[in-house]
Amino acid sequence: MVACTAALCFGGLSSPQAGAAAQGCRTAAAGTGPAQGAAGGGSACAEPAPRPAASDTPVGNNGQLHVCGVHLCNQYDHPIQLRGMSTHGIQWFGQCYNSASLDALAADWKADLLRIAMYVQEDGYETDPAGFTDRVNSYVDMAEARGMYALIDFHTLTPGDPNFNLQNAKTFFASVAARNAAKKNVIYEIANEPNGVSWGAVKSYAEQVIPVIRAADPDAVVVVGTRGWSSLGVSDGSDESEIVNNPVNAANIMYTVHFYAASHKDAYRAAVSRAASRLPLFATEFGTVSSSGDGAVDRASTTAWLDLLDQLKISYANWTYSDAPEGSAAFRPGTCDGSDYSSAGVLTDSGALVKSRISTPDDFPTS
């Protein structure tokens, strides 16, 4: 967001930052599906905790979600907050998303949400539309089996104008919405981080993509990216008023806010505090580090952000549930070659902090 370069703005979002290590991930992940196990040697760990009864999971408790006022609400019309993790690019880190890792995410991390980051460019969807669509659907099923919500992220970044990918978006969302319409655990995120583009252009894109989803899945929540790398316009010198004064013409939608705690502080939190009384917000991605996706954890700023999101009941997903060689990753490099995704020995500073926050008891009112 702040002081971004063309190749690298938000945490872990563009492949160049990972350098040679990311190139290795491309090779390791190529052709792998979500069911790929964590083969090879890894640290020994206990058997995964038993899965909770279906009725005692986030989806079991909350059912089909919808927007009520400025909140995300459950089937009982009560505001709730979902807390979870985002994948890294599934084209690079597919080995991190398997039965063992998702069992750990649901049972040990006690996450409510898995965000599925499907890049469009950068060796992503455009290289194999059918294959990536199938992989996303498989992750949706894996989340559903564990009672977690699945946030399908159409991960546009470069080019920053989502209209560049309008036809890809229509094709992709028509397919996944038709396939998953009967499920209660699916949320659609239609544009990751619009950048270098006006709010009017983002709004136009949203008003063309949302009807495609609604034609197949009329009830699901749709999350719309905001300009300035989903900063509510703050990183472009604007603020939430441009959205408040010119909202997307659609119902049951929310607006995205992204932040990286070491880079985005008081001015960004102030914008979120103001916007939360006027707009339904969803922090579909945040990092504990700088906007490069790397560096040291800013514990004080991360805590201030998460306390604010808790207070406002704004749902969030942390970047990333991966072993990428960067400070924003939850796991130490090599973790995804093993079968332990929970113990202190495999967690980075970021992973330990975020796990400590999202594994606390949820507040899901049912009456």
Encoding tokens for residue 235? 């990183």
Report the run of H or E that residue 7 belongs to, with start and end.
Answer: none
Taking CA atoms, 144 is separated from 17, 166, 182, 187, in Å, by 32, 28, 12, 12
CA–CA separation, 201 and 227 (whole Å): 9
Q: Which residue has 């398997």 as its token pair?
A: 98
Q: Are 11 and 319 in contact (CB under 8 A)?
A: yes
Decide: helix, strand or coil at residue 36.
coil
Packed helices 129-145 and 166-180: angle between N→C axes, nearest 10 degrees: 40
CA–CA separation, 342 and 360 (whole Å): 15
CA–CA separation, 312 and 320 (whole Å): 23
Kindly list the catalytic residues: 193, 285
CA–CA separation, 310 and 78 (whole Å): 15
**Within 13 A of 236's CA, how many CA atoms are on the CB side?**
21
Helix spans in the chain (H): 19-29, 58-62, 99-107, 129-145, 166-180, 199-216, 227-230, 241-244, 266-275, 299-312, 349-358
One DSSP character per residue, 177-213 reads HHHHTT-SSEEEE--S---SS-HHHHHHHHHHHHHHH
